[in-house]
């Protein structure tokens, strides 16, 4: 690592001669105010206001960077007290070739587009984007960190388009109430425009940032002429009603089924503008039901599966709560990463408690959110604030035993709080932020005190700075601390979590203490990144202490780790007659725990190529050196991870075609002859301008000789601290597919179908045990005097580790599995008017577990189809009141 750091420093010096960001002057445009005029909002630019001098002079970024756009584009910006209007005439010498395909809102796809980007604060860092295609499909979102975007924001705005013999035209109408800005008598905003022409694979900008340079918002043109704007105070109410009908697999004697089958929910979201630059969002009895299906997974690791947030209340403005990633345009993890202090799906998650023995039970699938409020926006041009306060109810499960109903608490009354502040300096060249989270629970249940923290707090500082005037080099850093308090029983569980394993018998640094009632920890990381140019490098060093714990309101997969990496790369942006562009990255990364054990050490290569015909190719490789592993034994002694390699590749076709194809594959192999390989296809078919069908089947095979089975106490196992760590060779086959059909009737009416079949079969054999810590020395049961016998009646194995010796016999269940799942949904979405939406949703899932360990595709598929399933129908209507 030291040698690589020295090499990188030398390359920094050499690269300094290549120069940095260009010094072209910033463009200035004017917005025109409507006085005694109105716009007939129809997508046709036939009003007098559109006869003003247009904004023109677009430059290609693709395919021929720096050349003038192949077709002329004229743009105008006008406004009144309520709206900002953007008009564009997109001339086209072949109007018959304009692509006016349709898709559901926020579904970006390869077609012709017109884009409007605006930075109302003129802070050179944040903003909004609004996009429309000739068919009227709308896309919008927010811009942050100068060059990043987030599509989770859904503004309420409109656009109309028309196609004629000269090309196509656009009229956008965006309420000032949807934008955040510091109102004044005379404002200057940052703006940019771009246009995509599908058939040419062309993307042209009014302000074009070369591929070898960084930044986007900071390069915007300045728009002047915004005077005398007095937007109304924003006050929006979005009430909703949901009717559900559930038809589930159930016992016909279940006393709870009928009462839970049909449910009606009412609630409302409220949005209040505080001035023109802050939004206060509140929700009452919110509907956080998801109309998208989480993917089915088979998780054989000790770690939690994390899913994406899909609830609108948390999605909007979510980038405000990012921690550590600001200021630099590339963040690399390599078995580390910035901490995720706020994982919004913790709020309203499934209850963590469980009920006593019962004949029947009624257990809520989620914890109801009594109320939540969120404040987001900017106090001024340079200070961003985000705050969330949410209260979830004390949740009970109901038991039924011999006609008697009782209830037990399965989730305590909980308050969640998040505060985020970010301050930028020197026109975005430096930034400093703080973040604090708190979780506070109230419960008298002994079980819930054992399962959950009473109080959990996290606090973080993050900062970045540009190191030169051209913003070629950037430095980012973050520090965080956590504190957790609970009962001794709860803290015992925390110490045994899979990213910590304090109970390890061979641990020497952080060891298990059954009597503690609190725990604290820290995290720190610093990263140097080269923001632009052909040559690229990224260096990072970080550490997270064994006691760092953020999972009550964040997501966590690591602790007790010291990590460093270096990335070197080179990017070719100019076509060479064979490739349009290509890039190659190599890296070395290494991690230690706080005892000094090497737990990760690898070399990594990744390369990407775009051919002249717009096909693309990816090739990657990885070589891992032998290291120690804390996870194989699930809290037991350290074992060795063997050295091994992996290779991956993928190729995809031109996205302009009606049929788009891609194929990918990977293979991994190590010195213990563990093998994993995966292959798959992605096929997308667009038969006409309204229908899109895609299917992505993939198949994988795992042959792992050391898949953990269990830990068994045995005082004769002295070499492994009186515990036998049992593994097996797993032969796992997994076949799955993501199947989607989108039918867009109009820009406001669409039908989407999704289905995911999954077959995962695991067969175990060659059961074995680890003979000594820090080795790859295993004994296969049935050799060296040991015996293993299968009991068919109770589907279990009995093991005698040393035949007739002193070792104790033990048993374990047959770990074979055959998991078959089918999940899917259908969503009909109709936007009756801006902000008011009607949904009809059907969700379905079914599963089968027959024939464990035996994979037969035809039989397994039939078993899955014949399996009973659950169906849920939902009708939801929400109406937007702009008061």
Over residues 417-429, the pLDDT tens digits come to 999 999 999 888 9
Structure-block tokens of residue 372: 């939540």
Query: Residue 223 forms beta bridges with which residues?
Result: 29, 189
Q: Quick one: what percent of the chain has pLDDT higher than 70?
A: 95
pTM of the model: 0.89
Using the predicted structure, report yes or no on whether residue 321 has a pLDDT greater than 80: yes
Tell whether the model's pLDDT for residue 318 goes beyond 70: yes
> β-pairing, 221-227 with 28-30?
parallel
Q: What pLDDT, on a 0 to 100 scale, did the predictor assign at position 319?
A: 87
- pLDDT band at residue 10 under the 50/70/90 scheme: very low
Three-state secondary structure string covering 465-502: EECCCCCCEEEEEEEEEEEEECCHHHHHHHHCCCCCCC
- Map 237-265 to HEC letters: EEEEEEEEEEECCCCCCCCCHHHHHEEEE
708 membership: H or E segment, kind and range: strand 691-713
C-alpha Rg value of the chain to the nearest Å: 30
* Predicted local confidence at residue 313, as pLDDT: 81
- The Cα–Cα gap between 159 and 140 comes to 12
* Residue indicated by tokens 């037990």: 408
Helix (H, G, I), strand (E, B) or coil at 793: coil
Lowest average pLDDT, out of 19-33, 245-259, 315-329, 604-618, goes to: 19-33
Question: What's the pLDDT score for residue 307?
Answer: 59
Q: How far apart are CA 478 and CA 493, in angstroms?
A: 28
Residue 199 three-state SS: helix
Tokens of 600: 């990760």
Q: What is the reported pLDDT for 233? A: 79
Local confidence band at 5 (pLDDT 50, 70, 90 cut-offs): very low
**Tens-digit pLDDT profile for residues 741-788:** 999 999 999 999 999 999 999 999 999 999 999 998 999 999 999 999
- The predicted pLDDT at position 737 comes to 96
Q: What are phi and psi of 271, to 5 degrees?
A: -125, 125
Name the band, by pLDDT with cuts 50, 70 and 90, for residue 77: very high
Condensed to tens digits (0 to 9), the pLDDT of residues 479-518 reads 999 999 999 999 999 999 999 999 999 999 999 999 999 9
Q: Left, alpha or beta for 560 (phi > 0: left; psi -120 to 50: alpha)?
A: left
Token digits of residue 474: 């950037």
95: region left, alpha or beta (phi > 0 left; psi from -120 to 50 alpha): alpha
User: Which pLDDT score, from 0 to 100, does residue 68 have?
Assistant: 97
The pLDDT tens digits for 272-315 are 988 878 889 888 876 655 444 444 444 444 444 555 776 778 87
Angstrom CA distances, 766 to 599, 709, 731, 853, 857, stand at 26, 12, 11, 14, 25
CA dist., res. 381 & res. 546, Å (int): 39
Nearest to 822 by CA among 872, 867, 762: 867
> Would you state the pLDDT for residue 287?
63
Collapsed DSSP state (helix, strand, coil) of residue 797: strand
Q: Using CA atoms, how far apart are residues 561 and 544, in angstroms rounded to an integer?
A: 5
Distance CA 873, CA 883 (A): 32
Give dist(CA 296, CA 752) in Å, integer: 19
Which pLDDT score, from 0 to 100, does residue 16 have?
A: 44
pLDDT for residue 390 is more than 50 = yes
- For the stretch 335-388, pLDDT in tens is 999 999 999 989 988 899 999 999 999 999 889 899 899 999 888 888 999 999
pLDDT at site 380: 84
* Lateral strand order in the sheet of 810-813: 787-791, 796-800, 810-813
Task: Note the pLDDT tens digit of each residue in 156-212.
Answer: 999 999 999 999 999 999 999 899 888 888 899 999 999 999 999 999 999 999 999
């Amino acid at each position: 690592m030291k040698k690589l750091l020295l090499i990188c420093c030398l390359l920094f010096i050499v690269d300094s001669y290549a120069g940095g960001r260009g010094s072209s002057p910033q463009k200035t445009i004017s917005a025109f105010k409507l006085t005694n005029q109105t716009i007939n909002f129809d997508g046709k630019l036939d009003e007098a206001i559109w006869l003003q001098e247009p904004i023109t002079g677009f430059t290609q970024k693709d395919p021929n960077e720096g050349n003038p756009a192949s077709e002329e584009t004229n743009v105008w910006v006008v406004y009144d007290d309520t709206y900002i209007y953007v008009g564009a005439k997109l001339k086209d010498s072949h109007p018959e070739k304009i692509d006016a395909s349709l898709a559901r809102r926020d579904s970006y796809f390869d077609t012709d587009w017109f884009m409007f980007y605006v930075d109302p604060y003129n802070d050179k860092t944040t903003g909004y984007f609004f996009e429309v295609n000739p068919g009227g499909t709308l896309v919008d979102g927010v811009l942050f960190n100068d060059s990043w975007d987030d599509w989770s924001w859904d503004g309420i705005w409109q656009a109309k388009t028309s196609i004629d013999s000269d090309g196509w035209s656009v009229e956008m109408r965006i309420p000032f109430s949807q934008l955040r800005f510091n109102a004044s008598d005379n404002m200057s905003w940052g703006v940019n425009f771009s246009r995509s022409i599908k058939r040419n694979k062309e993307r042209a900008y009014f302000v074009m940032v070369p591929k070898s340079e960084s930044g986007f918002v900071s390069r915007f043109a300045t728009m002047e002429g915004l005077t005398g704007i007095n937007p109304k105070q924003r006050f929006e109410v979005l009430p909703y009603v949901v009717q559900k009908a559930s038809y589930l697999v159930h016992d016909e004697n279940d006393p709870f089924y009928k009462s839970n089958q049909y449910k009606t929910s009412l609630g409302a979201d409220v949005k209040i503008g505080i001035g023109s630059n802050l939004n206060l969002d509140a929700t009452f009895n919110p509907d956080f039901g998801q109309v998208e299906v989480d993917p089915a997974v088979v998780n054989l690791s000790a770690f939690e599966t994390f899913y994406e947030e899909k609830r609108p209340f948390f999605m909007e403005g979510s980038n405000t709560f990012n921690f550590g990633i600001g200021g630099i345009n590339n963040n690399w993890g390599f078995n580390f990463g910035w901490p995720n202090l706020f994982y919004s799906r913790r709020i309203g998650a499934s209850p963590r408690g469980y009920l006593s023995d019962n004949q029947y039970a009624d257990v809520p699938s989620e914890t109801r959110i009594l109320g939540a409020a969120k404040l987001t926006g900017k106090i001024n041009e340079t200070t961003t604030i985000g705050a969330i306060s949410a209260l979830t109810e004390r949740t009970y499960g109901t038991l039924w035993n011999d006609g008697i109903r009782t209830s037990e608490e399965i989730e305590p009354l909980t308050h969640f709080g998040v505060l985020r502040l970010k301050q930028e300096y020197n026109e975005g060249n430096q930034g400093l932020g703080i973040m604090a989270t708190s979780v506070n629970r109230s419960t008298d249940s002994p079980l819930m005190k054992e399962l959950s923290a009473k109080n959990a707090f996290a606090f973080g500082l993050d900062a970045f700075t540009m190191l030169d005037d051209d913003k070629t080099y950037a430095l980012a850093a973050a520090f965080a601390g956590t504190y957790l308090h609970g009962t001794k029983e709860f803290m015992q569980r925390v110490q045994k979590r899979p990213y910590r394993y304090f109970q390890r018998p061979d641990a020497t640094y952080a060891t298990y203490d059954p009597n503690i009632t609190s725990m604290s920890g820290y995290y720190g990381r610093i990263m140097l990144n080269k923001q632009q140019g052909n040559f690229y490098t990224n260096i990072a060093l970080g550490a997270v202490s064994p006691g760092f714990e953020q999972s009550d309101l964040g997501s966590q997969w690591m602790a007790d780790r010291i990590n460093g990496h270096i990335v070197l790369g080179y990017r070719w942006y100019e076509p060479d007659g064979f490739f349009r562009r290509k890039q190659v990255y190599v890296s070395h990364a290494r991690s230690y725990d706080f005892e000094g054990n090497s737990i990760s050490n690898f070399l990594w290569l990744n390369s990407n190529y775009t051919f002249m015909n717009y096909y693309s190719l990816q090739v990657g490789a990885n070589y891992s050196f032998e290291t120690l592993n804390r996870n194989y034994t699930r809290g037991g002694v350290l074992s060795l991870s063997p050295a091994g390699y992996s290779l991956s590749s993928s190729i995809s076709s031109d996205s302009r075609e009606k049929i788009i194809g891609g194929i990918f594959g990977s293979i991994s192999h190590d010195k213990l002859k563990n093998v994993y390989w995966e292959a798959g296809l992605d096929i997308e078919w667009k038969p006409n301008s309204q229908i899109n069908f895609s299917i992505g089947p993939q198949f994988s095979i795992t042959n792992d000789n050391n898949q953990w089975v269990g830990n068994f106490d045995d005082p004769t196992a002295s070499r492994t601290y009186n515990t036998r760590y049992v593994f097996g060779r797993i032969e796992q086959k997994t076949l799955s597919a993501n199947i989607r059909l989108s039918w867009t009737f109009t820009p406001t009416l669409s039908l989407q179908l999704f289905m995911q079949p999954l077959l995962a079969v695991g067969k175990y054999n060659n059961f074995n045990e680890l003979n000594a810590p820090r080795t790859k020395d295993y004994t296969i049961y049935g050799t060296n005097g040991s015996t293993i016998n299968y009991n068919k009646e109770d589907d279990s194995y009995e093991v005698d580790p040393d035949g007739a010796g002193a070792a104790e016999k033990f048993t374990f269940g047959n770990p074979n599995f055959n998991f078959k799942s089918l999940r899917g949904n259908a969503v009909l979405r109709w936007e009756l008017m801006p902000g008011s939406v009607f949904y009809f949703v059907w969700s379905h899932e079914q599963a089968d577990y027959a024939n464990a360990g035996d994979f037969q595709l035809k039989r397994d598929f039939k078993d899955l189809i014949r399996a009973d399933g659950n169906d849920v129908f939902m009708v939801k209507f929400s109406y937007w009141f702009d008061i």
